[in-house]
Amino acid sequence: MAIATGVTVANIYYAQPLLDTLAKAFDVPIHTAGLIVTVTQLGYAAGLMFLVPLGDMIERRRLVVTVTLLTSVALVGAALAPSIELFFAASLAIGVTSVVVQILVPFAAHLAADHARGRVVGRVMSGLLLGILLARTVSGLMSDAFGWRSMFWLAAGVMLIQAAVLARVLPRDPGKAQVSYPALLRSVLHLLRDEPVLRRRIVYGFCVFASFSALWTALPFLLAAPPFGYSLARIGAFGLLGVAGAMAASFAGHLHDRGYARVATGGFIALVMLAFALMGLFPHALAALVVGIVVLDLGVQGTQILNQSAIYQLSPEARSRLTTAYMTCYFAGGAAGSAGAAYAYSLAGWVGVSWIGATPPLLALLYWLTERRQ
């Protein structure tokens, strides 16, 4: 499951280090190319809203395999796209179908023992986070060597192989929700109404992922321009700095299982804000960028593991719907952050992006101060 989540989530990040190249290939302004990330994340949010709840209703293995095959079709569409409009459409479809990740994570939580759920979620999320950071690196290398379209052809083939493997190795797990599909979707709203922990964790997630997306949307523009002038391969290699985030996943899971979730959440959110403060003060210092990216990934991924570990304790029979409620808002935050960063960079450069990135975690930290100790 960890491998499958990593390979699948990579699909929504392949375009990020290529934004400057895509802007030139399709002859569009920088802020238009930046919307590729936004469109993909909006597609992901739509998939979370309409596909992931089905994990509580129908057999999960069949759902995972079917949607994985559709991801392969969407990636072929991106590889063939002759215009930015069709690339937007393919990116939207890639986002919608890549929600297989959010079917597998609650599936793993469902199979885990209560006392080890935080560690299990952390382990699966470690695979997911490695997929995110390796996606940027592999995309940069492939595109430098064989052109940007080669990355999407490769990804389409990988999805076909993964569908065959998952069909063979995943256990059968029939859904337990005995309701109609419209009622299933309405129940997501009921969870938002009835679960204060879910609402609080949504605020934390929305804010930190807005900052995360702001960074990775604007960073390729910064690194491709003077004084850096980096190639696609070197820009993609910055994704390897996210290893710290992958390490934080298991560590944060242990903190949750030991009862330190509240304090750790505040600490991880503070790291996100501090990272942007550092990168904003020294916008052209490579060392500041490297340290800032490491600290930001650590804070974002640590917060995410604590959020998911907390919400999966709320209602065992509704974990897919809890995922829908939480992750839809999470990726809405990402879409807001990426759109804001693209325009901020075109108007005010990296300093504007730093303000866009630092403000959401500051608001989240102020909200965290209102959380009552357990």
Are both 310 and 242 inside the same structural domain? yes
Are both 105 and 231 inside the same structural domain? no
Are both 77 and 206 inside the same structural domain? no
Q: Cβ distance 346 to 217 under 8 Å?
A: no
Q: What is the pLDDT of residues 40-68, one digit of tens each?
A: 988 988 898 899 888 878 888 899 999 99
Q: Quick one: pLDDT at residue 98?
A: 94
Q: Read off the CATH number of the domain in which 369 is found.
A: 1.20.1250.20
Structure tokens at 110: 């469902």
Percent of the chain surpassing pLDDT 90: 45
- Out of 216-225, 254-263, 277-286, 320-329, which region has the weakest mean confidence (pLDDT)? 254-263
Q: Which of 154-163, 177-186, 227-236 has the highest mean pLDDT?
A: 154-163
Q: What amino acid occupies position 75?
A: L
Count how many domains the chain has: 2
Are both 172 and 33 inside the same structural domain? yes
Q: Would you say residue 133 has pLDDT above 80?
A: no
Select from 307, 323, 316, 300 the least CA-distant residue to 256: 307
Q: Would you say residue 83 has pLDDT above 70?
A: yes
Q: Would you say residue 224 has pLDDT above 90?
A: no
> In b/e form, how buried is each residue of 156-185, taking b as 16+ CB within 10 angstroms?
bebbeebbeebeeebeebebebeeeeeebb
CA 295 – CA 236 distance, rounded (Å): 18
CA 227 – CA 223 distance, rounded (Å): 8
CA 146 – CA 155 distance, rounded (Å): 14
pLDDT band at 31 (very low <50, low <70, confident <90, very high): confident
Are both 321 and 232 inside the same structural domain? yes
